[in-house]
Chain A
């Protein structure tokens, strides 16, 4: 079995969920790594869109910021930010949106705003950015987050962007027609919403991870699907391409 880190398993599992004909709204960090890994392995035709307005971009190194010159240089075209949010995101032209956050609850609602009360925060986080509208406008949402008791919480301090709200048909009742989070990919497992309750449920466990470990790193009682798969181990090719991508990126960011 190949030697790999849990975060590498997370990125690789996320990359595998993407298809060649997907059109993705990509965030910085883990989502960007996963999307570009997919593009460099099984999904060369994938369309990657960053909110800086760069459409169908093919960066050689991962951008540090959402609007690095690399994204613009390798894009099919670059549009203004109002056009990006109005025509492309709100217009319903994006299939998969990637999100992450500081906190997530069992219905995959996310907090990236504050820890503690809004008016007197213990930690002021960056805030929503594009997330509130990405969460409702993309056909479906994939979430990538490492698990832990402080991030997988029973109750969010602030709802920055909605997932399945309070479960059942509560999302649809708000008038939102898109699917919301269909996948939650962590360093331990892959989760998907229960068809009825919409609670995020473990559907695949990464190799070597136990159910107890998943529970220990989750702030609510974890539901497991009737059939739980084992996530296939990263292939040598997946690991090689991902590590080369990160090495190229680190060299580029250190130089500039």
Chain B
């Protein structure tokens, strides 16, 4: 049952050291404010699941929150490398990072299987390449009806899913619009969840009969964090800050400049800073 709360309380209650967590959002609605709160609370030893680790996991890896990463594409989209992710894998900095690597199709199927309460995902994939040689969780099963060999991987069942959405109502029903990614599946697959939203409204706005809504009884914590996806975007609220994604390349390239940025912008700040980032960026883009 959804509880409307503050971000610090939601994260403190939902995320423990050693948990398996999934911050989702496929380019759109990436929960940056919630990521920063996890870093501020100093969570350690986390297993991080996410299709595209993006800046959020680059930051958590660089700050030493992660023991393991389960992912399918670890780059800065359209820009290049995620330097903290690379430094962890190539040089073990700040410590060794275990990886479990998949394809996008596998990750999407694994979330869907988790949401559906199935133990594994089955799909046509992983044929001929080397990923099955380095990931022992990739197996093959034979279709009992046709004899076709298919790929199977375990369902994702995170302890906690963390997503950002446009709106929730006061009961905690959450509405998502635009690029949907795997957020609905991630929440339904997880034991607990934290949903940050741009705004909490008396009533969800007029919508299509098939709008994507997570009913309040499927959601754990709901927190209003305006701008909480910045520098990712919230369709209808503010655009993606492509220029910040480019700047991140320089910030994260060097360990010291990364730490300096994290101290100023994460450790010494709170979630209320995000409203201003998004407002300024929206004004600049118009």
Q: Which A residues are within 8 Å of any B CB, using their own CB?
A: 28-29, 51-54, 63-69, 71-72, 78-82, 84-86, 89-90, 113, 118-119, 121-133, 136-137, 158-162, 165, 171, 174-176, 252-256
A256 B284 Cβ-Cβ under 8 A: yes
What does the 1/0 interface line of B7-47 toward A look like (CB < 8 Å)? 00000000000000000001110000000000000000000
Q: On chain B, which size bracket covers the interface? A: 35 or more
> SS class of chain A's interface: helix, strand, loop or mixed?
loop
B124 A81 Cβ-Cβ under 8 A: no
A82 B111 Cβ-Cβ under 8 A: yes
A166 to chain B, nearest CB (A): 10
A82 B131 Cβ-Cβ under 8 A: no
In the complex, chain B residues whose CB is within 8 Å of the CB of A51: 104
Bound Cα distance from A165 to B246, whole angstroms: 36
Q: Does B239 contact A (CB under 8 A)?
A: yes
What does the 1/0 interface line of B256-286 toward A look like (CB < 8 Å)? 0000000000000000000000000100110
Across chains A and B, the number of contacting residue pairs, with CB separation under 8 Å, is 189
B90 A159 Cβ-Cβ under 8 A: no
Bound Cα distance from A174 to B81, whole angstroms: 33
Q: Which B residues are within 8 Å of any A CB, using their own CB?
A: 26-28, 51-52, 71-75, 77-79, 81-82, 85-86, 89-90, 101-105, 108-109, 111-112, 123-131, 134, 148-149, 178-182, 184-185, 212, 233, 235, 239-243, 245-246, 281, 284-285
A69 B149 Cβ-Cβ under 8 A: no
B171 to chain A, nearest CB (A): 24
In the complex, chain A residues whose CB is within 8 Å of the CB of B126: 132
Q: Choose one: B104, B128, B212; the contact of A159 (CB below 8 Å).
A: B128
With A72-B179, A72-B235 as contacts: A81 and B184 at CB distance below 8 Å: no
With A81-B182, A256-B242, A256-B284 as contacts: A161 and B86 at CB distance below 8 Å: no
B3 to chain A, nearest CB (A): 26
In the complex, chain A residues whose CB is within 8 Å of the CB of B81: 126
A53 B180 Cβ-Cβ under 8 A: yes
B281 to chain A, nearest CB (A): 7
Bound Cα distance from A51 to B182, whole angstroms: 12
In the complex, chain B residues whose CB is within 8 Å of the CB of A159: 128-130
With A126-B74, A127-B101, A128-B73 as contacts: A66 and B108 at CB distance below 8 Å: no
